[in-house]
Structure 1
């Protein structure tokens, strides 16, 4: 029996972890990466080097795959439509993925299907930003380039018209949004297959610092059962309405009046779901692989009452190996995931996960390990 080949475009840590999930499934994995030093290039056997923005490169890569999927959302939409027309299985498809690629289109689509979002509109120039602010509660407002942003890049919180000039320098449309006075950020992660089977993971609390996910707690502490169910149902409805295949992360604001508003969408494995590698019966990565192949989906339930994932960002200490050994010896229950990247300040180089039945113990252990690996603490 010949098992299928999943091709993933993009060689980052998401592809690296997806490859890990494909191995026990017996699924063959092919990678389109930028360089041999990309995180996934270091561990995947079948690597094609090339530019994901070049249609001929995409054609050659897809010829060796049963289905292609993504480590990021930046592949040109028109190229994906061409591949789909030529018979390539593209999952998620371009007509779905475009809503993760373009924030303006995403907001228009979510408005059209009645999904609650922050107040927003496309703005033409800094003066238009001022008008947008005056239509609501005034400054500050959030400005986002409609394409190309990630991990806080392409997002500005501006306090006046002068500060509003910077986003327009990128030369792409700019979306203005109200600055939501939220209690916390949540994420609802779901996976959907082509034949319509879908599963929902527990809603998690996501702690952001400087636009980068810092910590995830699964499930979100003190979240009412009703609001958790509402968030899961919302994510499942979005996945169905947009005809998404694979993993969908719906990033949410929990408001002070007990509602949820949709902040962002990601149609790929997502940082908010990394906890599931160790903390769920079936990880987001395995279920994404299952979904794009239209295999039955796995159980998303947590293994333990609490799981905490903390990202490890690079600092000024380039050699983490001695810190890595210390953390392993100090806490045998700790799970450390390193991405094979050179350590640079602020760069995601790994994450740590701890699970158990005592939230405060689990959270302290995960935070301590991440801080030690970063070099923030020495004992």
Structure 2
């Protein structure tokens, strides 16, 4: 009898888990927030992931429950586990992706390098942190932020007075970094894990725009340290499935942990076409405790370019013929989303032996889907 995987969340990450799961003979069910979402192909239910009864009903008959996002409340997660549902990643791990203050404290306990930080509950506390860190710092809401949301760079407590009124915030030093990197780890409930190559990510407006795999201009030691950091975090937090560790490489060549994601991640989309086992298949394998696949690159270089916004006129689908004709080696992935400024509506992967040529191929193909 086939295994059944339940995915909470109907976004593009769930959508991209469907094909590799089906290829492995696994049945997929998706709890989408509403009809017509990216993962509608396997959406067997729609409903509020914050409602215990809704999620419990969805979980009936699935072998493992996993997630398209990290927003399912802790009380729902823990009730599911108490009821005997196999939840991966589980609530003990997910709490550190859901709450940045908990994450910072736990990473400190593990001895993981990270920016200077503090929990600030009022203007006086934030002012003290500003005074101790050059007068300009990053402030984050502990919960709910993504793609640049819930993040402000400030030089005065008044700039986050509205946030302070709602509770304690996370203040971090403004890191002088040379580039941003990401390290992915896949870990099974039984404890086996594999590390992907560390990649370079390019952010625009707080949103990932491009990924280069592996990170260019990186010494072997950098890759070893990134993988070591990711491994310590995965094991120390008990992560199951895919873990993405966002990193700063500082101007003095240190690595500092920025944020964590416990699911497939934008920084790993390159692996769909560039790795022996891409992150979506790997996540399915990992959460079902199946043997992990080889994360090695198929080619010396892989580049992912996000399609942000999409065309002002017409549809994404109308751009496929010209894009595919001009760039037959590029791989285009779209998410079934309507174009909207700044929205991630798809991505393009390209691979090859010459980095400049691969970058050009991915960017040029992606450009067909924008105006």
Q: How does 1:38-77 map to 2 (within 5 A)?
A: 38-41=37-40, 43-44=41-42, 46-77=43-74
Q: How does 1:1-379 map to 2 (within 5 A)?
A: 2-41=1-40, 43-44=41-42, 46-139=43-136, 141-168=137-164, 171-315=166-310, 316-375=312-371
Deviations 1:116-167 (A, max 9, x none): 110001111233222101112221x111100011111111111323323243
Report the CA distance between 1:178 and its aligned residue.
0.5
CA distance in 2: counterparts of 1:260 and 1:303, whole angstroms: 26
Report the CA distance between 1:285 and its aligned residue.
0.7
Q: Which runs of 5+ in 1 are unaligned?
A: none
**Secondary structure of 1:132's partner?**
helix
Deviations 1:170-206 (A, max 9, x none): x243100011010000000010001111001100000
Would you say how many aligned residue pairs link Structure 1 and Structure 2? Answer: 370
- What RMSD, in angstroms, separates the aligned Cα atoms of the two structures? 1.1
Deviations 1:77-129 (A, max 9, x none): 11111110110000011000000000000000000110011000111123322
CA distance in 2: counterparts of 1:301 and 1:295, whole angstroms: 18
CA contact (8 A) 1:9 1:71 kept: yes
Report the CA distance between 1:343 and its aligned residue.
0.8
Q: Which runs of 5+ in 2 are unaligned?
A: none
CA contact (8 A) 2:326 2:365 kept: no
CA distance in 2: counterparts of 1:146 and 1:355, whole angstroms: 37
CA contact (8 A) 2:56 2:80 kept: yes
Q: TM-score of the superposition, structure 2-length normalised?
A: 0.98
CA distance in 2: counterparts of 1:126 and 1:326, whole angstroms: 55
CA contact (8 A) 1:120 1:175 kept: yes
Q: TM-score of the superposition, structure 1-length normalised?
A: 0.96
CA distance in 1: counterparts of 2:122 and 2:264, whole angstroms: 34
Report the CA distance between 1:61 and its aligned residue.
0.7
**Secondary structure of 1:162's partner?**
helix
Report the CA distance between 1:318 and its aligned residue.
4.4
Report the CA distance between 1:267 and its aligned residue.
0.3
**Secondary structure of 1:253's partner?**
strand
Change in Cα spacing, 1:166 to 1:363, as seen in structure 2 (3 Å) is farther
Deviations 1:350-369 (A, max 9, x none): 00000000000100111122
Using the TM superposition, name which of 363-372 and 23-32 deviates more. 363-372
**Secondary structure of 1:373's partner?**
coil
Which stretches of structure 1, 4 residues or longer, exceed 3 Å deviation after superposition?
Answer: none
Change in Cα spacing, 1:365 to 1:101, as seen in structure 2 (3 Å) is same
Report the CA distance between 1:64 and its aligned residue.
2.1
Report the CA distance between 1:35 and its aligned residue.
1.2
Deviations 1:27-70 (A, max 9, x none): 110101011111001x21x5111100000001101112111000
CA distance in 2: counterparts of 1:136 and 1:152, whole angstroms: 21
